[in-house]
Amino acid sequence: MNSPERAAVRGIDAPRRPFMVALSLTLMVAAVQWTPPVSPVSDRQVASLVLARPAATPFKVPARVDSAALERQVVARFEHWPLARIFFSRTREREISERIARAIVKEANYLQVEPSLLAGVLLTENAPLDAEARSSQGAIGLMQVMDFHAGEYDCDSNDLLQVESNICHGARVFGYYLKRTGNVRRALLRYNGCVTGSNTPNCSRYPSKVLRNARQVRQELLQYPPYSLPVDTATF
């Protein structure tokens, strides 16, 4: 059975749609009128809201040490003395060591090559540093110069048994081939007479032997105080 309360509820009509629309519009207008105005945000204020981070420091690759430049510094500062010490360690003869070193540095400056390169040639040709050595092919002295080169390169003497003259001739023969070929290895092959490989067995290995000795000399040069640096000498 229906109670009197339910009958009363059924008697109340639901609000009409036009009334609800009008009410919604009224509330919207009131909200707009009572909302305080918002001022625009400036660029500076926006920037202050961004977390500033320091610029990243670019990674710097360590520069490779130029051992050739270091060698030039050593020779420029100490002249022939570091090289003389190297030769003295092999001969135990001070005078001959100093003469060889002085002549090597002089000719290296003349040819604009590193002293260690000429020293590498000398030590490959004549490791005992015997100024009077003669080969079976007729090569003479410290740098094993053939006698037909004597007097051809404006050296102070034509005597290939003299230390300074022999180094002068040997260095300038090499310098001639270097200028002609534009390549250290090819110049060394020609210095050794290794054109066809028939004069000396396995002569194609000669440049590698010279450059190995040159690297060793450079390494020892850079141990001369105060340049005792562990550097890569594989520059040749």
Per residue in 193-228, pLDDT (tens digit) is 987 655 567 889 999 999 999 999 999 999 887 555
Residue 52 in domain:
no
| Nearest partner of 221 among 201, 235, 205, judged by Cα | 235
Residue 4 in domain:
no
Residue 212 in domain:
yes
CATH number at residue 122: 1.10.530.10
pTM, to two decimals: 0.69
Structure tokens belonging to residue 96 = 């001959």
CB atoms within 10 A of CB 72: 14
Considering its fold, how many domains does the chain have in total? 1
Work out whether the CA dihedral 200, 204, 206, 207 comes out positive or negative. positive
Can you point out the beta strands (E) in the chain? Answer: 139-140, 145-146
Residue 11 in domain:
no
Compare 184 and 31 and report the one with higher pLDDT.
184
CA distances from 2 to 11, 12, 13, 68, 114 (A): 13, 16, 18, 114, 121
Residue 144 in domain:
yes
d(C-alpha 209, C-alpha 206), whole Å: 5
Compare 138 and 1 and report the one with higher pLDDT.
138
Cβ atoms of 108 and 214 closer than 8 Å: no
| Mean pLDDT, the chain, whole residue set | 81
Residue 127 in domain:
yes
Residue 226 in domain:
no
Domain of residue 143, residue span: 67-221
Residue 126 in domain:
yes
Per residue in 138-173, pLDDT (tens digit) is 999 999 999 999 999 999 999 999 999 999 999 999
Task: Output the pLDDT for position 202.
Answer: 82
